[in-house]
Amino acid sequence: MRTPLNRLPAARLARMIAGHEVTCEAVTHSFVDAIKEHEPDVRAFAWFDAARALSTARELDIGDWRGPLHGLPVAVKDNIDTADIPSEYGSAIFAGHVPHADAACVAALRSAGGYVAGKTVSAELANFTPGPTRNPYDFEHTPGGSSSGSAAAVAAHMVPFALGTQTAGSVIRPASFCGVVGFVPTRGLVPRSGVKAVSDTLDVVGVFARSVEGAALVAAAVALWPELQHAPSKAAPPSIGWTATPWAAQLAPSMRAALERVARLLATRGARVREIAWPYDANANGTAFAALADAQATVQLFETARGLGPELQYRSDLLSARLATMIEEGRAISADGYVRAIKVGRECAASVDTLFGSADVLFAPSAPGDAPHGLGSTGDPQFNRPWHLLGAPQISVPVPRDFAHGESGLPLGLQVVGRPGDDVRTLAAARWVEQQLETL
């Protein structure tokens, strides 16, 4: 039986379109049909126009080839501006807001031949108050957040890939919960112009796909770094340092078991694998890597309070109580406390080899466990915070469910983490890990 187009990997679809094996319109039809089938249950989209998507695909079929994403539909998180398409940031404050210009990352996608098929649900102003999206594997469980709709749309085969943003764990955690690949590049690699700001220090544009190759394809386009696209082809057994992190006691038994089981598997497949010990002192000044998680939370609260302060001051009636409280907590943090937290991140980043040692990449949990039951929370970003303050590239790779799954039977993800700026090697290592898991 022929595999439906919407279930083929993004990179393969791109090659088929480039080789005139299939039309852009046929590809779009397949995804439109999937959206019509699954969206009533999953609720991943804040905006979608089937007629517009099909019209755009037909135009791409008769036009010149534009680039590596030619003819592929892309879903964009609702906190990222899209020209002439609603961008409401997951907030009633911005209901009906339609930007006149694309965010820089969206403009890059269009230049590479992709087009915006829909806007995906974001938690309120890319924070922690969830929208209506449900986990495609079990509608009673959260898909994670704040990039909830992007992760769910890719998991339900309603788009080949999607853009999200991460301030703490808003790409990696939902990717883990929804059983897809999530990639957060080195901080600053993808321009943030046109993205509704939460934290000047921490906001990063990331990518969801169903394979490392697909994530690399999109990341190369939005970062204007073609080498990223070819990184997965360089896959070879890496040197891996695995870690349950200093917060291992917070892991669900299933996640801890999956981490150790996959680490043992990778060692049998040729990787140099060892468990790393977290150094208490990153340098002579005594900065501890274990302080990264708390420092990230401090930076996020402090900068969120300033970034979203006008919304609380002028439109508090349209803010959730949860976000209003978070902004007030951020306002209570002293400038000295904020500067100390920033210093922790910078000193640890400067001494990152103390943590990595001889390892090419680190291997760690993407979340405490599988997706929690209920839709009132997006889950805990504790296992994302330290890597994100470092500004490191992070890739969540799903573990096959018949090999390891969570207590509720839902997907688990494990993340490959690289040194800041080492995105090519990190993608290659993640692809090698993915290849080993694909053979199970």
Domains and CATH numbers, the chain: 5-233 (3.90.1300.10)
Predicted confidence band at 310 (pLDDT cuts at 50, 70, 90)? very high
Tokens of residue 394, six digits: 């992070």
Average pLDDT over residues 82-102: 98
Predicted confidence band at 280 (pLDDT cuts at 50, 70, 90)? low
263 within 8 A of 230, measured Cβ to Cβ: no
pLDDT digits (tens, 9 = 90+) for 179-220: 999 999 999 999 999 999 999 999 999 999 999 999 999 999
Phi and psi for 53 in degrees, rounded to 5? Answer: -60, -45
Residue 287 has pLDDT above 80, yes or no: no
Active-site option among 30, 91, 122, 146: 146
Active-site option among 170, 176, 199, 211: 170
Q: Name the CA dihedral angle for 427, 106, 78, 16, rounded to a multiple of 10 degrees.
A: -60
Residue 285 has pLDDT above 80, yes or no: no
Residue 282 has pLDDT above 50, yes or no: no
What is d(CA 345, CA 390) in angstroms, rounded to the nearest whole number? 6
Handedness of CA 142, 148, 150, 153 (dihedral sign): positive
pLDDT digits (tens, 9 = 90+) for 115-146: 999 999 999 999 999 999 999 999 999 999 99
Active-site option among 77, 150, 199, 254: 77
Residue 281 has pLDDT above 80, yes or no: no
Tell me, yes or no, if 146 is annotated catalytic. yes
Predicted confidence band at 57 (pLDDT cuts at 50, 70, 90)? very high
Q: Which CA distances in Å does 286 have to 243, 281, 295, 347, 361?
A: 21, 5, 15, 10, 24
Q: Name the CA dihedral angle for 7, 9, 12, 16, rounded to a multiple of 10 degrees.
A: 30
Tell me, yes or no, if 211 is annotated catalytic. no
Tell me, yes or no, if 77 is annotated catalytic. yes
Tokens of residue 359, six digits: 């390892």
206 within 8 A of 183, measured Cβ to Cβ: yes
pLDDT digits (tens, 9 = 90+) for 332-362: 999 999 999 999 999 999 999 999 999 999 9
361-365 and 394-399 strand pairing: unpaired
Query: In 165-285, which ranges are continuous DSSP H helix?
Result: 172-178, 212-223, 227-230, 253-268
pLDDT of residue 288: 82
